[in-house]
Every structure is written in C-alpha cells, then in structure tokens.
C-alpha cells in the first residue's frame, strides 16, 4: 500500500548523456552499460546483466533492425520482401544471426507464402546489375534466402501497435522467455524507439528475460502458446506446480473483475446488457481486485495486469466512498507505470497523474467541509 505522502515514484531514468550510452543503433554491438548479448549454455543467445540493475532502470533503447507496417497477414510477406531488399548489410547480418523456429519455417516455406515471395522476387529482382535476367536457379536462391529471413522475422518480431506494425530488434529479440519476466518493453510511437526497463532488481550475471505470452493465463495455455517457439518453458513459474493454483485463481479473479468493470463501465450509465455480472457490488469487486493484486505481486508479475488491477481498485475505491484508498491505489498504478515505461511514457489510455490530482482535490475538499461542519457543530448551542 502506498504511503500518504505526496506522490514520489522512484525512477532510475537516465540523464541525456547517460541515455546516449543506452541507445543501441541497429549497426552497433548489442551491449549497453547494463547488459549484453552472450551465448547461453542451452538456448543459443541471451541477454545478461553486466552489473546489478535496480528496478525501474532503463536498460536499453533501440530502433528496429527491420520493420514492416501494420498490414493484413497476406500482405505482410510482400512488405517484408521490400524491407529486406532495402536493408543494409550490417542489418542483414544481424537478422540472419537470430533464431529460426520450426513452426515459423513451416509457415513461410508453405506454398502460399513462398509463391508470394517468388512473385515479388521475380518482379523486383528479375534482372541482375548487368541487365541480364536472373536464371531460374539464381531466382530460386534469392527466394530461399528471403523465405529464411522471413521465418526469422516471424520468429523474433515484436508487434509495436496498430499504427506502427512489427519489428525485429538486435537486443530485445535476443531475450529468452520466462513467465516471470525481468523487463518491460515499451514502444514509443512518436520516436519509433523501443525502451527496455527492469521491473525488479536484477543481479550482475543473471540472464534477463522478456515474456512471449500473456502471463495471466494458466500454465497449460502458456505452454501451448510457447510451442510456436519450439520449446517447453522451464521457468520458475512453470517448474513449480504450486504456482498453478495461484495462476488459475488469478485468471478467475481477473475474469470476474473485467466483467464487473465492463458492465459498469464508467459507473454512470446503465447498460442495456441484461447479463448481470457475477460480482454484485463495488465492495465485492474491490475485494476481488485486492486479492488479485496480492496474487499478481506474489507471482512477481509487474506489468500491465498489475497496473490495470490497481487502476480498477482505485475506481472501486471511489465507488465505496473511500477516497483515500482510491488515491493509494492510483499512486500504486502510477508507480508501476513509471517503473515499466518511464515518467513520460503511458501504459494505457488512462491518465493516472490526472486521476491522482482529481482525487487529491476531492480529499482536500472533503477535509475542508469536514472542518467546517465540525466548527459549526462546535459553535451551535446544544439543544437541551
Ligand atoms: Zn514458464
């Protein structure tokens, strides 16, 4: 629970000078002041801390090695071909050095995708520098190379939002998965940069993991999704069956809370939906939010789910007429936001800073009224 002091979020943001040391340009070595790409004993490459990294630290900032706009899946291969054949040699080397998973390879080497790539190569790479047509063999080599690179892209790409499409990153794409990730990645649509921050303290030498899946899911579902990358997750959450009950319960609580919040969307309008939510009132919903917060924290998942649950708990605090509680939860939501995306980033469309200001003014107003009432009560002669 947050203290009642004015908001003080601990941030370990870099100064402008330090920031330049964290920026990874696609043509540079994948190393920052905090972390570097190295071989792992078992799973190819990974990213490792080179010194102790405090929670909230900005570990790296990078632009994509290769990115494509947000287009329907059937057009993605064509966009990829155009982007690939415009790439610089160092970026091609970086892309080629990333892993290619069996399922991604299967999907690009299938007839549909391969024939689109073939067509593109034929139309755009059909003639060599000397103006001669490429032989069938040369074309076939170009198509094989493009298919392979596209498979690598599909294995490693990060969706950066509906406006910005998808990209592969030299540093971020090297991170291995854990259902207890160490970082939060944030794509800034204005700058086109991806920032990576520590969401808990990381020790020097430890491997730094991201997550490839939605973490508020039962273990079996997470593992099913991870099959696409061709591995069985052995992270602490998957290796210990004692965590299964916790994650199942978190899913159940999250569903109940989401249903309740959706039904009462802004608490001001009645919806036409005649399906009553399972939770019967704000007290019950607040209890569920509190239990969910505890479980998420116990599991060490400091990301969007925790932010949203604090946010919902804050809204429910107002509904149960406990403004101080609402303010405490709003400050917790903001603390998570700053840790994950920095003081200038935004984790959702909601604005915790504005909401905190509103709650503070409501509390100040209520206190003034309380004082006035007490004063009046004191002055009024008591009725015999
Ligand atoms: Zn796992």
Distance 54 CA to ligand 1 centre (A): 23
Instruction: Domain count for the chain, please give it.
Output: 2
CA angle, residues 215, 217, 218, in degrees to nearest 5: 125
Going from the Cα of 351 to the center of ligand 1, the distance in angstroms, rounded, reads 32
Expressed in angstroms and rounded, the spacing between residue 332 Cα and the centre of ligand 1 is 26
CB count in 10 Å sphere of residue 379: 7
pLDDT tens track, the chain, 384 positions: 333 333 333 444 556 666 666 665 554 556 788 998 888 887 678 899 999 999 999 999 988 989 999 888 888 999 999 999 888 888 888 888 888 888 888 888 888 899 999 999 888 886 655 666 778 888 888 899 999 999 999 988 888 866 668 999 988 988 999 999 999 999 988 888 899 999 999 999 999 999 998 888 888 999 898 887 778 898 988 988 888 888 899 999 999 999 999 888 755 555 555 578 888 889 999 999 999 999 999 888 889 999 999 999 999 999 999 999 999 999 999 999 999 999 988 998 889 999 999 999 999 988 887 777 777 776 655 554
Q: Ligand 1 centre and the CA of 118: distance in Å?
A: 38
Domain final position from 168, 194, 223: 168
Q: Is 320 among the domain residues?
A: yes
Q: Is residue 384 part of a domain?
A: no
Domain boundary among 126, 149, 168: 168
Q: How far is the CA of 121 from the centre of ligand 1 (A)?
A: 40
The answer to whether residues 251 and 354 belong to one domain is: yes
Cα 231 to ligand 1 centre (Å):
10
Residue whose token pair is 């916790």: 246
Structural domain harbouring 87: 66-168
273 shares its domain with 147: no
* CA 340 – ligand 1 centroid, Å: 21
CA of 181 to the centre of ligand 1 (A): 9
- What residues are paired with 57 via a beta bridge? 12
Confirm whether 37 is domain-assigned. no
- How far apart CA 382 and CA 254 sit, in angstroms, is 52
State the alpha helices, DSSP H only, in the chain: 16-20, 73-84, 89-97, 102-109, 111-124, 136-156, 219-226, 236-239, 242-263, 282-299, 304-319, 323-341, 352-379
Give the span between the Cα atoms of 112 and 102, in whole angstroms: 17
Residue 209 Cα to ligand 1 midpoint, Å, equals: 11
How many angstroms does the Cα of residue 200 sit away from the middle of ligand 1? 17
Same domain membership, residue 159 and residue 249:
no
Judge whether 87 and 194 are in contact, CB under 8 Å. Answer: no
CATH number of the domain that 331 lies in? 1.25.40.10
Q: Give a three-class secondary structure readout of 192-229.
A: CEEEEEECCCECCCCEEEECCCCCCCCHHHHHHHHHHH
Residue 204: CB atoms within 10 Å = 12
């Amino acid at each position: 629970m947050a203290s009642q002091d004015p908001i003080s979020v601990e941030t370990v943001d870099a100064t402008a000078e330090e920031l330049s040391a964290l920026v990874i340009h696609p043509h540079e070595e994948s190393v920052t002041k905090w972390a570097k790409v190295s071989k792992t004993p078992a799973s190819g490459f990974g990213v490792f801390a080179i010194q102790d990294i405090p929670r909230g630290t900005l570990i790296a900032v990078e632009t994509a090695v290769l990115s494509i706009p947000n287009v329907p899946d059937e057009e993605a291969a064509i966009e990829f071909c155009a982007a690939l054949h415009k790439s610089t040699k160092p970026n091609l080397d970086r892309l080629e050095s990333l892993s290619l998973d069996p399922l991604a390879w299967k999907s690009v080497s299938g007839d549909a995708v391969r024939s689109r790539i073939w067509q593109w190569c034929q139309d755009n790479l059909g003639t060599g520098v000397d103006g001669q047509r490429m032989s069938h063999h040369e074309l076939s080599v170009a198509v094989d190379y493009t298919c392979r690179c596209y498979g690598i892209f599909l294995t490693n790409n990060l969706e950066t939002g509906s406006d910005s499409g998808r990209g592969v990153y030299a540093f971020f794409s090297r991170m291995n998965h854990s259902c207890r990730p160490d970082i939060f990645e944030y794509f800034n649509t204005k700058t086109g940069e991806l920032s990576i921050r520590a969401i808990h303290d990381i020790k020097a030498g430890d491997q730094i993991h991201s997550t490839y899946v939605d973490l508020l899911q039962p273990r079996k579902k997470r593992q099913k999704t991870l099959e696409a990358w061709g591995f069985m997750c052995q992270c602490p959450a998957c290796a210990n069956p004692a965590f299964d009950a916790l994650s199942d319960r978190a899913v159940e609580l999250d569903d109940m809370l989401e249903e309740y919040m959706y039904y009462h969307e802004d608490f001001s309008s009645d919806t036409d939906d005649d399906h009553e939510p399972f939770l019967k009132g704000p007290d019950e919903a607040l209890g569920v939010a509190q239990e969910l917060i505890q479980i998420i924290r116990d599991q060490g998942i400091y990301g969007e789910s925790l932010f949203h649950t604090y946010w919902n708990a804050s809204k429910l605090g107002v509904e149960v007429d406990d403004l101080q509680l609402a303010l405490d939860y709003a400050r917790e939501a903001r603390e998570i936001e700053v840790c994950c995306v920095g003081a200038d980033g935004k984790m959702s469309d909601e604005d915790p800073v504005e909401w905190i200001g509103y709650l503070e003014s409501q509390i100040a107003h209520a206190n003034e009224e309380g004082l006035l009432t007490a004063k009046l009560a004191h002055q009024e002669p008591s009725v015999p």
